[in-house]
Chain A
């Protein structure tokens, strides 16, 4: 039986889809069988980030409605052969998903894969709640800024009340993944510190992904950053995060900010 991991955040644009692709690809590279499920029906992106947009025939909605078989809709990655994608439908909306349909698809995926990553849509409505419904673990993607952290806090509240595990009296294993961390801005006090984020969310840290141009480059060429630029700082942070998700006890290193001569001469400027 595989693990179902929801990647969620509440707020949009913080890096849910990028993180889903990067973590899933990192785990698949170690030989794990990984399925990535795009729950953002109507605004699908995961197919683009994975570079599979030209191979989509059937989607999640087709499978939940019985129009297509799961094996027909799953797209195998061309780079890593244990990595699969179940795309969302772009022409439908979130009401097209039924709770029973999702339960059936997740149940079937759980049988076949070691990890099932559910890429949640932004928001706290039906779509996001269906994505987290069957989760065993949750990766809460957060940017180090107040609005993102508050939305993540809200999502953690939902993970503790609206998931099947919560309703059975168990708890979803939650991890915070801080993305777009800018060491220079954090040093100037222009961003929340990692400690602030963790104190507010009181949830263990999965990793800190530094702000990095490589992530954007990877998205544009349709490849998870962990596959296209594995030596890049962000990719290494994702690879470490994937190991922690596997249960490995790796220390989290705060991204280092090299202070330039100019900064040293003129000192820090507090925001």
Chain B
């Protein structure tokens, strides 16, 4: 181990007036990577946003120009084209370009890729009851609370016909989940009662999500879009505590404890 010299407290003259604070913080942003030809790429983007309107609303977007060569004029056109579609570019990442001028967003370097399903500390928390979830989850939204880790805890049983939709984070149900109801979670699903309905984990594309329950009478278990119906489960996995997870695009249901 190398010795590291301890920091010395250096004192300077006391600052008068307002102090200015600087500190480094990291944020999560979506990186858009346009591909040539740009007109076709814009067509594709339009199609995509038509299917998911509002996807970019309020989200920080960084333009990744590492895989395309554009001059400053073309970059200005590109940024304008995105602005017309309601996408505000807050920075540009481009290897080999040293200066973009003052008209364009600043350059960023040192990007790292992260898994966005698990940790999105700077993303706004979605409302407990999204507009597209059935109205009878209102009651759940009241009794449930989204904790800071973006986990939805539900203390009441989930009744037949109810649908709990929590696209970002885990769902924990303390009661039972009735036949004909469903839990849809971006993260994992934990059920401390009997699961008689359907459980979907990792719905936003997270193959590492799992489903846990104390008593498995499930109609269907799904992780990251791969599913298994009650008919396809081994009889031995029914009636006991189980976990369901994805391995090699196959759902495994194994006993717990």
A residues within 8 Å of B by Cβ? Answer: 124, 146, 150-151, 153-154, 156-158, 160-162, 166, 169, 199-200, 202
CA distance A166 to B159 in the complex (A): 15
CA distance A67 to B246 in the complex (A): 64
Chain B contact residues, majority secondary structure:
loop
CA distance A133 to B175 in the complex (A): 25
Whether the Cβ atoms of B180 and A150 lie closer than 8 Å is yes
Partner of B162, one of A150, A157, A166, A200: A157
Whether the Cβ atoms of A150 and B194 lie closer than 8 Å is no
Name the B residues within 8 Å of A199 (CB-CB).
Answer: 176, 194
Interface with A: B23-31, B56-64, B94-102, B135-143, which one? B135-143
CA distance A160 to B156 in the complex (A): 10
Name the B residues within 8 Å of A150 (CB-CB).
Answer: 160, 178-180
Of all chain A residues, the one with the shortest Cβ separation from B136 is A161
CA distance A256 to B203 in the complex (A): 49
Whether the Cβ atoms of B179 and A158 lie closer than 8 Å is no
The distance from the CB of A12 to the nearest CB of chain B, in whole angstroms, is: 16
Q: List 24 A-B contacts (CB under 8 A).
A: A124-B161, A146-B179, A150-B160, A150-B178, A150-B180, A151-B160, A153-B159, A153-B160, A153-B179, A153-B180, A154-B159, A154-B178, A157-B136, A157-B139, A157-B159, A157-B160, A157-B178, A160-B156, A161-B135, A161-B139, A199-B176, A200-B176, A200-B196, A202-B157
Name the A residues within 8 Å of B179 (CB-CB).
Answer: 146, 150, 153, 200
Whether the Cβ atoms of B156 and A154 lie closer than 8 Å is no
Name the A residues within 8 Å of B161 (CB-CB).
Answer: 124, 154, 157
Whether the Cβ atoms of A160 and B139 lie closer than 8 Å is yes
Mark contacts of B157-185 with chain A using CB atoms, 8 A cut-off: 1 yes-contact digit, 0 otherwise: 10111100000000000011011110000
Partner of A161, one of B138, B178, B180, B181: B138
Of all chain B residues, the one with the shortest Cβ separation from A124 is B161
Name the A residues within 8 Å of B194 (CB-CB).
Answer: 199-200
Partner of A202, one of B142, B176, B181: B176
Name the B residues within 8 Å of A160 (CB-CB).
Answer: 139, 156, 159
Beyond A162-B136, A200-B178, 17 extra complex contacts between A and B, CB < 8 Å: A150-B160, A150-B178, A154-B159, A154-B160, A154-B178, A156-B159, A157-B159, A157-B181, A160-B139, A160-B156, A160-B159, A166-B139, A169-B142, A199-B176, A200-B194, A200-B196, A202-B175
